């Protein structure tokens, strides 16, 4: 059987602890993904009395990494930011919206699930290594680069199943000594054509328990995780570039004031942001893959294009002058009185222009095409702050309760 990629989706959920996967139940539409397991196999080059390169492969230090691309609606933006940055305490309520603050720091670990046809790839211990926010055809697109501690999407039987009354199966440890890692009670696994609900998992890391069922399968038969049936509910619209205001000023106060109205904001014809955590994913004893994901030196940049009016920005570039930038994204109204909207406010306290290009093309206006470096401002002891207002409770982002 063949499968169309369009039938896929992404499911996500924050974990309580990095090494504790969960069944993700927040479903979102997916644009594309490129998450891959790399087992880092290498040819066994030990001398064995043969004149051929190798007769087998040996396991290396595995890793799970790749990109997820989704439209940036106000709900999924919160989950993506939650993987990248430290989330503060959520305030608010359903009537007036929930406000979620984010600052530079450790994001939460997530479990992510993406189906590939009939089976699901479950990736756990997921953190955001990098994030690009850009507008494509007016719609905000998020490209999240992730690293993960592990994944489960399939294994094989270590022993045959022989018909009626089967209550357990044991997975082969050829790939991993703990092959059930990532599976959970209430998951549905498929053995042959038989769908079986998991009741519990033994502490040995290889035994799955289920209710008595009739199933026949040979040793080595594949065992895989069945894809969930997604429930989307009402899918929020993405933020649109036409509803974004960008303010630039000598400091954050001036930039935020400028972003408060279209008359004082700076019209941008291209606006994109890049953030990087440069996660350390070094394997250690006790793990065939990364044992922990740790932020290293953080960095960020902004790309924008605006009509050239005078040499002022060029002068700020060559004289290395500090500026502040605030961007305010506005979405749909939350309350019935139409006074409170979904919104995302991003404050960058200190930016300087890395590149300032002013290309001349026949029949075209001159633009300032700039790359800005997001710098750490020692005056406020921060590089950036993000505030998101949406309809999603803090509990869904992993908070124990609301403020």
Q: What percent of the chain has pLDDT over 70?
A: 99
pLDDT reported for residue 227: 92
Q: What is the pLDDT of residues 73-109, one digit of tens each?
A: 999 999 999 999 999 999 999 988 999 999 999 999 9
Average pLDDT, the chain: 93
Plot region of 152 (φ>0 → left; ψ -120 to 50 → alpha; else → beta): beta
Is the pLDDT reported for residue 244 higher than 70?
yes
Q: What is the pLDDT of residues 167-180, one digit of tens each?
A: 999 999 998 999 99
Q: What is the pLDDT of residues 350-384, one digit of tens each?
A: 999 999 888 888 888 888 899 999 999 999 999 99
Residue 311 pLDDT level (bands cut at 50, 70, 90): confident
Hunting for tokens 């290396």 — which residue is that? 60
Closest CA to 392 of 82, 1, 60: 82
Average pLDDT over residues 175-203: 95
Is the pLDDT reported for residue 19 higher than 60?
yes
Enclosing H/E stretch for 91: strand 91-93
Torsion of CA 233, 142, 112, 399, to 10 degrees: -70
Hunting for tokens 């932020």 — which residue is that? 295
Q: What is the pLDDT of residues 225-234, one digit of tens each?
A: 999 998 888 8
| Separation CA 371–CA 385 (nearest Å) | 20
Report residue 248 as tokens. 């630039």
Is the pLDDT reported for residue 285 higher than 80?
no
CB 155 within 8 A of CB 171: yes
| Separation CA 146–CA 129 (nearest Å) | 5
Is the pLDDT reported for residue 403 higher than 70?
no
Average pLDDT over residues 192-215: 95
Q: Is the pTM of this model over 0.85?
A: yes
pLDDT reported for residue 8: 85
pLDDT reported for residue 402: 57
pLDDT reported for residue 359: 85
CB 98 within 8 A of CB 88: no
pLDDT reported for residue 400: 75
Half-sphere CA count of 57, side-chain side, radius 13 A:
8
Average pLDDT over residues 323-334: 96
pLDDT reported for residue 309: 82
Residue 35 pLDDT level (bands cut at 50, 70, 90): very high
pLDDT reported for residue 386: 98
């Amino acid at each position: 059987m063949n499968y169309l990629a369009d039938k896929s989706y992404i499911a996500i959920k924050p974990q309580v602890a990095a090494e504790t996967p969960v069944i993700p139940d927040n479903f979102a539409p997916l644009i594309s993904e490129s998450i891959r397991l790399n087992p880092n196999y290498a040819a066994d080059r030990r001398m064995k009395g043969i004149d051929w390169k190798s007769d087998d492969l040996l396991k290396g230090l595995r890793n799970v990494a790749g990109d997820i691309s989704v439209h940036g609606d106000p709900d999924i933006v919160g989950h993506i930011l939650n993987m990248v940055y430290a989330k503060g305490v959520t305030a608010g309520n359903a009537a007036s919206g929930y406000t979620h603050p984010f600052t530079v720091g450790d994001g939460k670990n997530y479990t992510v699930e993406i189906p590939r046809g009939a089976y699901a790839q479950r990736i756990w211990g997921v953190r955001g290594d990098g994030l690009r926010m850009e507008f494509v055809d007016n719609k905000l697109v998020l490209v999240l680069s992730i690293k993960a501690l592990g994944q489960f999407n399939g294994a094989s039987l270590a022993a045959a199943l022989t018909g009626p009354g089967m209550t357990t199966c044991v997975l082969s440890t050829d790939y991993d000594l703990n092959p059930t890692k990532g599976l959970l009670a209430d998951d549905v696994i498929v053995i042959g054509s038989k769908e079986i609900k998991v009741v519990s998992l033994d502490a040995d890391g290889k035994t799955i328990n289920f209710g008595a069922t009739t199933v026949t399968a040979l040793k080595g038969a594949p065992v895989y995780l069945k894809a969930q049936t997604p429930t989307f509910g009402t899918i929020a619209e993405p933020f649109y570039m036409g509803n974004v205001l960008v303010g630039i000023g000598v400091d954050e106060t001036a930039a935020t004031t400028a972003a408060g109205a279209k008359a004082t904001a700076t019209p941008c014809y291209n606006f994109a942001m890049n953030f990087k955590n440069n996660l350390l994913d070094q394997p250690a004893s006790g793990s065939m893959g990364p044992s922990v994901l740790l932020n290293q030196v953080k960095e960020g940049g902004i790309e924008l294009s605006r009509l050239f009016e005078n040499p002022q920005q060029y002068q700020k570039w060559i004289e290395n002058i500090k500026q502040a930038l605030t961007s305010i994204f506005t979405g749909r109204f939350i309350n019935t009185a139409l006074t409170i909207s979904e919104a995302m406010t991003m404050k960058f306290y200190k930016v300087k222009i890395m590149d300032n290009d002013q290309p001349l093309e026949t029949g075209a206006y001159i633009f300032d095409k700039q790359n800005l470096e997001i710098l750490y401002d020692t005056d406020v002891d921060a590089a950036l702050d993000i505030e998101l207002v949406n309809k999603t409770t803090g509990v869904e982002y992993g908070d124990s309760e609301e403020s």
